[in-house]
Structure 1
């Protein structure tokens, strides 16, 4: 790639990022009205309410909607660093900055031999396809931490372990990234960071772990894979109902506990498969940690009792790290995740009323979105297994990237 073409590609990438992110900011600031229910109320009402409790030095331990590990308090309190802005506006600005940091990390991860800007392009494209929900939740901040951890895993294992542990204390799922880490230093660093940070919260702020009981009691959320059973069953005499429960819209009624238990069983089976893979895998390459992390997050997302739209940010971020590596086997699963992003926006917030009503449009959107994620999970798991476990045929790489994807930043 000629230097002029590489610079032009980078300028185009940054230009698209700037235009799309400006559009997201206009939506969350309500300069432009996005169709569907207001996605910003979580920040302006729920987060702000938690903020008022957290600043008193305690967690909202009597609020069942607080279902997050203790370091999530830092995300909710973060608008305090911009005291000259109203709470919600400050939060949106910080979400925008987390988005920018993630892009910068992915561009840095594209440097060197065997690295591509495909990951940065995926991030630039995937985030706006998820709509303004991305900036109206703190998941983009957690994803920035996870991306930093995965990119650091090769050369800076201690830093990677510390970031993974801190991410897990922000929103649990980054703990999955440790499954792919081989260096003992990363595990030691993660353990020390987790114990110290969790211990500080437990000592300094009452109710740091009240969220564990609230998570245990959650049911089947209407956007999850298992919820499709009840969406269809409502048309055949099922007597349950849809209600706001534990902070999300869930199915309540006969057999819901069975489906919720089934989801937990599938999550356990996914964990067992990942542990088996880790025990049998012997062929590790620089991209293996990212591929395994993406696969793990996919498996835990599709088997969860809840698949909220913001969960897609996790998948886009971890997939983007995979695509920074030329030899990654996650091209096709990443493409399916990208295809699922606009469908996710259509089911929430655009036509969420149809999802709640279980009408034909709502069921179709959920079936397509969840079907894409299931297909991505199976493809990713197969590719990871075949590429790393002895005696299995290696899955061929995805077709070569386009001229924009092949560009690398000079070292």
Structure 2
């Protein structure tokens, strides 16, 4: 049995390597520049910071939390020996893909381990499949850095809660969404105070370091910079307006300030303005349901997965941004669902795999046609967005059905 498990792990690692290589290469071959952000945005930001120019998040307001600059700088330094043979852009792309693969490998090792359970192996297979279906966008975005941090942090919540909280908090300072896992841990874990204190201490340390580096009004720029942006075409709430664009009653325009395509149509601005308050309401409501379940004695293994899953999806479904890399956000909660409660991970995992596949079809495979508001990509994106809503409903339904000691005692 142990030998069979070891063989399974070896096969898993072969699949992990093969998929990362295939996805990395696909980025060079697919249309619509799926690696564009890496070379057109990340590399110039890193170069500016290293050469004494403006430092995003420190000397000028930035759309990302400040720790997102760290992997960009690491990739830049890793790329330097390759510049002479590949050029600056090619070298940076290779360095970025290598960095993402190394971080994923560290998290994959934590997941599979020497004595990986069947639950962990199932989660690992899901991760490999999700990466393959999502394609280059799963690697060539800053969101890819937060995924392994979230996976390891989630795996360690029961054994090393302080370290787990630190990793999740660092992940949230790279891209905000891992904060949803911190909230879920504070609600569901019996180590909630240790998680909360650690998250607060790490955040305080980061803020102090930023202040010492000269940041002041820019510290929370990643929050304020989002307030004025419009409704991005791939956002769930943009779906009706996309159909209006198909009919010629709306248009798609590029925002040079935010570097994204947005909907221009009557009613789009009020919808965009309403989404953030609605997101807050939904997050509070989902957290409230989780808190009630925790107070009534729900176990961590049953409560944490659907709570984390629902909170992350709330951030996506109620977001006025709908970037394709958002699909990476739901990968970590489902991996943890497999590990903690495999019996109930089937429907969420199937939904997420379908989301990944459809997201790849939308971007980058049919994105040019989507920008023209052609019918086929609009239909595909509509189905993808309906799946996002369905995934949120699945998560909330599972959360509501989490058993508690109170309900068990009542049944007895």
Calculate the TM-score normalised by the size of structure 1. Answer: 0.87
State the match for 1:74 in structure 2: 70
Please state how far the C-alpha of 1:63 moved relative to its aligned partner. 11
Matches within 5 A, 1:6-155: 6-28=5-27, 30=28, 33-34=29-30, 36-55=31-50, 56=52, 58-60=54-56, 66-82=62-78, 83-85=80-82, 86-108=91-113, 111=116, 115-155=119-159
Q: Would you say 1:200 and 2:200 are equivalent positions?
A: no
Please state how far the C-alpha of 1:173 moved relative to its aligned partner. 1.1
Q: CA RMSD in A?
A: 2.5
1:128-155 CA-to-partner distances (Å, cap 9, x unmatched) read 1111122211212111111111111111
1:85-109 CA-to-partner distances (Å, cap 9, x unmatched) read 3323211210121222232222139
Deviates more, 1:9-18 or 1:212-221: 9-18
CA distance in 1, matches of 2:360, 2:250: 29
Give the SS at the match of 1:242: strand
Give the SS at the match of 1:37: coil
In the alignment, which of 265, 275, 279 is matched to residue 287 of structure 2?
275
Please state how far the C-alpha of 1:248 moved relative to its aligned partner. 1.4
State the match for 1:161 in structure 2: 165
Please state how far the C-alpha of 1:309 moved relative to its aligned partner. 1.4
In the alignment, which of 272, 293, 306 is matched to residue 291 of structure 1?
306
Deviates more, 1:102-111 or 1:318-327: 102-111
CA distance in 1, matches of 2:58, 2:210: 17
Please state how far the C-alpha of 1:288 moved relative to its aligned partner. 2.8
CA distance in 2, matches of 1:111, 1:330: 18
In the alignment, which of 370, 374, 386 is matched to residue 359 of structure 1?
374
Would the aligned equivalents of 1:51 and 1:77 in 2 still touch at CA under 8 Å? yes
- The structure with the greater share of residues assigned to helix is 2
Deviates more, 1:233-242 or 1:287-296: 233-242
Q: Would you say 1:343 and 2:358 are equivalent positions?
A: yes
State the match for 1:400 in structure 2: none
Deviates more, 1:381-390 or 1:93-102: 381-390
In the alignment, which of 221, 224, 229 is matched to residue 240 of structure 2?
229
Please state how far the C-alpha of 1:61 moved relative to its aligned partner. 6.0
Deviates more, 1:210-219 or 1:233-242: 233-242
Q: Sort the Cα spacing of 1:237 and 1:390 in 2 relative to 1 into closer, same or farther, 3 A.
A: farther
Larger RCO (CA within 8 A; separation ≥ 6): 1
Q: Sort the Cα spacing of 1:116 and 1:76 in 2 relative to 1 into closer, same or farther, 3 A.
A: closer
Please state how far the C-alpha of 1:119 moved relative to its aligned partner. 0.5
Deviates more, 1:219-228 or 1:253-262: 253-262
CA distance in 1, matches of 2:119, 2:231: 40
State the match for 1:405 in structure 2: none
Please state how far the C-alpha of 1:355 moved relative to its aligned partner. 1.6
State the match for 1:250 in structure 2: 262
Please state how far the C-alpha of 1:378 moved relative to its aligned partner. 0.4
Gaps spanning 5+ residues in structure 1: where?
394-411
State the match for 1:5 in structure 2: 4
Q: Sort the Cα spacing of 1:349 and 1:107 in 2 relative to 1 into closer, same or farther, 3 A.
A: same
Calculate the TM-score normalised by the size of structure 2. Answer: 0.87
CA distance in 2, matches of 1:212, 1:3: 49
Please state how far the C-alpha of 1:285 moved relative to its aligned partner. 3.1
Give the SS at the match of 2:271: helix
Would the aligned equivalents of 2:301 and 2:341 in 1 still touch at CA under 8 Å? no
1:272-325 CA-to-partner distances (Å, cap 9, x unmatched) read 212311331131233532332122112211211112111111211221121123
Would the aligned equivalents of 1:109 and 1:115 in 2 still touch at CA under 8 Å? no
CA distance in 2, matches of 1:202, 1:250: 34
CA distance in 1, matches of 2:115, 2:311: 23
Residue correspondences, number = 387
In the alignment, which of 339, 344, 362 is matched to residue 324 of structure 1?
339
